[in-house]
Amino acid sequence: MAKKEITLNVNGKAYQVSVEPNEILLNVLRDKLFLTGSKYGCGIAECGACSILVDGKVQLSCMIPAIAAEGWNITTVEGLADKDGNLNPVQQAFIDRAAIQCGFCTPGMVVTGTSLLNQNPHPTEEEVKDYFRGNYCRCTGYTSIVEATLMAAEKMSK
C-alpha cells in the first residue's frame, strides 16, 4: 500500500504524519500523535469511546480513514481545555458531579456532551439522554453523566 504524507489539524496544531489508506484516524491519533485520550472501545461504531469533534460536531474516529481526514478541523478530548489548561464546562461538570468511575467512557462522553451543547445549549433531560445514545458506560448507570451535562448547560447559560 502506498504511504501518503498528510497534515492533520488536531486541537489547533498541524501534525505531519505518514499514513497508509487502511489506517483509521483513531489509531493514528493514539499511536502516531500520542493523543491517547480517545479510546479504542469496540472499533465497530457501537460504543462511542473514540468520539472526537470535527468542526465542533461529534464523530467516531474509528470509522474514519486517517487519510480522509486531511485538512479537517479536529478536536480530541485533549483539546477541550483552553490553552491555559482550564477544563471546559462539560469536563468540569463531570468532575463536580463525580460522573466518572473507571473513566474509560469519559473522553467520549465529554466530547459528545460538548458537541451537544454546541448545537443545543439548553437541552432537556430527554434530549441529553437521546444525544448520548451511542456512548456506552459500564460503570455509572448514566444518571450522573446526564446530570453533569445538564449542570454544564446551566453553568454555560449564566
**Which residues contribute to the site for other proteins (CB under 8 A)?**
1-2, 4, 21-22, 24, 43-46, 48, 51, 54, 57-60, 62-65, 67-68, 112, 115-116, 130-131, 133-135
Q: 15 or 129: whose CB is closer to other proteins?
A: 129
Q: Taking the complex as a whole, how short is the minimal distance between the CB of residue 84 and other proteins, in angstroms? A: 29
- CA pair distance 146, 156, nearest whole angstrom: 15
Q: Taking the complex as a whole, how short is the minimal distance between the CB of residue 90 and other proteins, in angstroms? A: 15
- Cell numbers at 12, concatenated: 489547533
Q: Taking the complex as a whole, how short is the minimal distance between the CB of residue 134 and other proteins, in angstroms? A: 3
Q: Taking the complex as a whole, how short is the minimal distance between the CB of residue 114 and other proteins, in angstroms? A: 12
- CA pair distance 41, 54, nearest whole angstrom: 19
Q: 31 or 46: whose CB is closer to other proteins?
A: 46
**Angle at 146 (CA atoms; ends 144, 151), nearest 5 degrees:** 90
Torsion angle defined by CA atoms of residues 136, 47, 10 and 36, in that order, rounded to the nearest 10 degrees: 80
Task: Report the b/e string of 34-69 with b at 16+ CB within 10 A.
Answer: ebebbbebeeeeebbbbbbbbeeebbbbbebebbeb
- CA pair distance 18, 28, nearest whole angstrom: 9
Q: 69 or 100: whose CB is closer to other proteins?
A: 69
Q: 45 or 98: whose CB is closer to other proteins?
A: 45
Q: Taking the complex as a whole, how short is the minimal distance between the CB of residue 22 and other proteins, in angstroms? A: 4
Q: 28 or 62: whose CB is closer to other proteins?
A: 62
